[in-house]
Structure 1
Amino acid sequence: MKIVINELAGAGLSQGAGLSVVLKNAINERIAQYSDEFVQDMSHISTAATYAGNIAVDQVEYLKDNLYRCDYAYDWAIAWTCSGTQEAGRVKEKVRFTLSENGELEFKFLRFD
């Protein structure tokens, strides 16, 4: 999945840890629009678990070259309609991404078939 951050395109920014806060803020501004891609399979919680919002970036870490890691989290909920009870929690995820000179972030989500 790709996201273009126009403010970063051609800005002449150097790759590295110094961009981490800039990238965190830029991704945080846009992440809710891409929740379908960022929200991962929650079957390890329950097949009844659903995304409940509040997706946010916790941290962006520089790894090497143009490679970064985005740590993010979101809420989940299970409504047990039979018993009238609910369960809820927060999932923490990580995804690696690359940053190109044109401001394009390419996220590399792990997908299991």
Structure 2
Amino acid sequence: KDPKACTILLRGASKEILAEVERNLQDAMQVCRNVLLDPYLLPGGGAVEMEVSHRLTERSRAMTGVEQWPYRAVAQALEVVPRTLIQNCGASAIRVLTSLRAKHTQEGNSSWGVNGET
């Protein structure tokens, strides 16, 4: 009822494929172990840049005229990092950036970034 061990049977079409499956399984088990023993996660790809961009944009809205231009320019420049990650993943840059901007306007979503599997 409370097993301390289990057996995983791996099969493959060739020895090379079987060896690759075994390495992948070992990697996955290491990741699970690391997350359980040290449960800290890093922000998603481009999350820091999106959060700083969001805060600079908010700051620029409190200003008028020429004073807000540098804030907006840096905010736009920082969005190049997540945009590049999105394009490298083959996703729609406009759609994902809009989604990230929306997430970063909500409290507690500062770690949202680009999902490389999209």
TM range (shorter): under 0.3
Higher strand share: 1
Higher helix share: 2
Higher Cα Rg, which structure = 2
Normalized against structure 2, the TM-score is what? 0.26
Normalized against structure 1, the TM-score is what? 0.26
